[in-house]
């Protein structure tokens, strides 16, 4: 079972890397969607469902929300931006680059590791435990994790004891644990469920995901997908993946 889950993680990471490489090479896809890394595996399933219903294919590019926002500012040909928080969506909206901005999902923050048993937050105090979080400057889930650690009086301790591992995005935090570079990681509930292993929720406000259509590049198909993601039809798929559909 553990071998199969490890294989699954490798497949997810390879897929995400492949999609990112395609974006960096400017592969021209009409429906190119910028997706927060914590949504990667879930959005693959949602996009497949949308495609099977409508016949319209989508290209998904995963990454930290802040980095994707910077790419859109630089002119990357995305048609839809799915951020892991409101800040980056509103940032692009204020620049006149994003329209039809709405929340679309929520997810609890969890402490996760690769073992089947659930970890405890007390483990963060153990001097041998290394903890991975996504880059707080670019990844909203990393920012949430940092805020929680600060409230608990643990962030500075982890830094001083050199037990804090900063990864680029949520999938990279999971890879840090799988590769032995860290013992624990803060990820979204949906990510933890997809990867297997054990997790425990922490007392943090949920990540509230916001998105919008990229001005001047969004197509009718993208607009249809954006509406569908926030519809009652898509809600059960979100819930099955460990996310709650967001209310306005």
Q: What is the pLDDT along the chain (248 residues), one digit of tens a residue?
A: 444 444 454 444 444 434 443 333 333 347 899 999 989 889 999 999 999 999 999 999 999 999 999 999 999 999 999 999 999 999 999 999 999 999 999 999 999 999 999 999 999 999 999 999 999 999 999 999 999 999 999 999 999 999 999 998 888 999 999 999 999 999 999 889 888 999 999 998 898 999 999 999 999 999 999 999 999 999 999 999 989 888 76
- What's the number of domains the chain is made of? 2
Rounded-to-integer distance, Cα 78 and Cα 59, Å: 9
Residues 97 and 218 in one domain: yes
- Which tokens in the block code for residue 80? 């839809």
Degrees to nearest 5, angle at CA 137 with 135 and 142: 45
Rg (CA), the chain: 17
CATH code of residue 25: 3.40.190.10
Residue 120 Rama label (left phi>0; alpha psi -120 to 50; beta): beta
Rounded-to-integer distance, Cα 187 and Cα 197, Å: 12
Residues 180 and 158 in one domain: yes
Residues 218 and 103 in one domain: yes
Residues 140 and 18 in one domain: no
Residues 42 and 53 in one domain: yes
Residues 100 and 12 in one domain: yes
Name the residue range of residue 218's domain. Answer: 2-107+208-245
Rounded-to-integer distance, Cα 207 and Cα 52, Å: 29
């Amino acid at each position: 079972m553990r071998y199969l889950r490890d294989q699954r993680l490798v497949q997810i990471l390879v897929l995400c890397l492949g999609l990112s490489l395609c974006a960096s090479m400017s592969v021209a896809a009409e429906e190119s969607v910028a997706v927060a890394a914590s949504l990667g595996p879930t959005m693959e399933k949602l996009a497949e469902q949308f495609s099977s219903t409508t016949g319209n294919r989508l290209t998904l590019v995963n990454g930290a929300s802040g980095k994707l926002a910077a790419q859109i500012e630089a002119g990357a040909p995305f048609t839809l931006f799915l951020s892991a928080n409101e800040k980056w969506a509103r940032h692009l909206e204020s620049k006149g680059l994003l329209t039809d901005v709405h929340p679309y999902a929520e997810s609890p923050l969890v402490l996760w590791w690769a073992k089947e048993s659930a970890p405890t937050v007390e483990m963060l105090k153990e001097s041998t435990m290394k903890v991975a979080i996504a880059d707080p400057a670019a990844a909203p889930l990393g920012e949430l994790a940092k805020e929680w650690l600060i409230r608990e009086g643990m962030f500075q301790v982890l830094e001083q004891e050199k037990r804090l591992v900063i990864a680029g995005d949520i999938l990279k935090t999971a890879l840090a644990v799988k590769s032995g570079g860290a013992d624990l990681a803060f990820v979204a509930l949906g990510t933890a469920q997809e990867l297997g292993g054990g997790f425990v929720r922490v007392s943090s406000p949920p990540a509230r995901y916001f998105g919008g259509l990229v001005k001047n590049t969004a197509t009718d198909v993208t607009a249809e997908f954006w509406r569908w993601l926030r519809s009652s039809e898509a809600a059960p798929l979100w819930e099955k993946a460990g996310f709650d559909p967001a209310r306005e």
